[in-house]
Each structure stands twice: as structure tokens, then as C-alpha cells.
Amino acid sequence: MEVLDRRQQLKATILPMAREAFRLHGIRAVKMDDLASALKMSKRTLYEAYQNKEALLIDVLRLSMEEHQAVMDEFKARNNDVMDLIIEHFKIQTERYSKTTPLFFSDLKFYPGLTDEFRDIEKCNQEKTMAVFARGIEEGYFRSEVNYEFISKVGRQFSIIFRTQEEYAMYDMHEIFVSFVCTLLRGICTEKGIAKLDSFLQENELV
């Protein structure tokens, strides 16, 4: 138990520093030796918590997702309107991506051990997305005749393209949010949904 507690304490110290380094510089540019030096700990101590960078990266991704979910749960406790939840989700993601170097996303392909992790995440996210679309239809925000499974797949693919391909690096994430995400949302919205989306854009001076 003591060994486990020590490892958890080490991880709690390492993860914030590693995540910030990956966010600013990409994954491959950050060496485990650099992290150990920045954390003022020995390489042996660092490897006691994480045997390799891939294991560290998996925990960084998990931490980010858990924190995002916690923020969304807190928002949901105050406002459970499904359209507001969707807009808040995209606001947070847009802000996070705008502060992350594109190298981070393009570097992910060099870590094949993430495949199983992403498969589980993808399944969970797909289930949540379809549940949100169903709620949107029930609450009168989304059109019922749309193939939302297809929309979800297209949205995920474009998200990957925007984050990893160099020709899109010139576009600010806020511009992508307004020009692509909001346009995609508008296409599936009823008049009620469009009114809600337009109100958000106007209030935040995004149009």
C-alpha cells in the first residue's frame, strides 16, 4: 500500500508538468530526461512512476478528459439545457485546442500503444454524443430526420484533420469554431436551435 501511495504521489507531481510541456512543445520534443530535470527529480524516480513516455501520455490524456468531464458536470448542475451544454463543451474544447501546439496532435500517431485507449474513449464518446443528439431532438433543438451517427463520424474526422494537418495551422481555433462547428450545428438545428445558437454568437461577439 505504501509503494502504491508513493507512486500515486509521484504521478500527481509529474502529470501537470508533463501535460504543460506536451501542450507547449509537442510530445516527441519532450524527453523524459527533460521532465526529470524540470521536476528536480532523478530519472530513476521518474521511471518509478512511468516506465516510458507512452504510459505517461495515456495518463495525461485521461487527466484532461476527467477534468473536462468534471467541468461539464459542474455546468450541468447549474444548467441542464442540452443546447447550452453542447455550446459550453465546444467553448471549452476550442479554448483548450487554441492553447495547444498542433505538434501535440500530429505526434500522437507515433505512439501505437494509444490505439486501445483511444478505441475505448471513442466508444464512450460516441455513446455520449448520440445520447446528446437524442436529447436535442426531444427538446426541439435538432431536426429528427438527420442521420446523427454519420454527422458524429464526419465531425470527428474533421476535428482530427484540423488538428493534425499543416495546411489548417493558419486558422485560429476560434475561427474554426465559428466557421465550421457552428455551421455544422446550424445545419442540424430547428428554428429553436438556430435562435439559441445565434443568441450565443451575438452575446459573445463572434458574429
Q: What is the pLDDT of residues 29-83, one digit of tens each?
A: 999 999 999 999 999 999 999 999 999 999 998 898 889 999 999 999 999 999 9
* Alpha helices for 26-52 (secondary structure H): 32-38, 43-49
110: in domain: yes
* Alpha helices for 99-181 (secondary structure H): 102-107, 114-138, 148-164, 173-176
CA distance 171 to 2: 49
122 plus 200 within the same structural domain: yes
Contact 50, 12 (CB under 8 A): no
Number of domains in the chain: 2
By residue range, what is the domain housing residue 189?
A: 79-207
44 plus 104 within the same structural domain: no
196: in domain: yes
174 plus 113 within the same structural domain: yes
72: in domain: no
> What pTM was computed for the model?
0.80
Q: What is the pLDDT of residues 151-192, one digit of tens each?
A: 988 887 777 777 666 677 677 777 887 788 888 899 999 999
Contact 17, 39 (CB under 8 A): yes
98: in domain: yes
CA distance 91 to 180: 13
141 plus 169 within the same structural domain: yes
Residue 152 phi, psi dihedral angles, 5° rounding: -65, -45
189 plus 89 within the same structural domain: yes
74: in domain: no
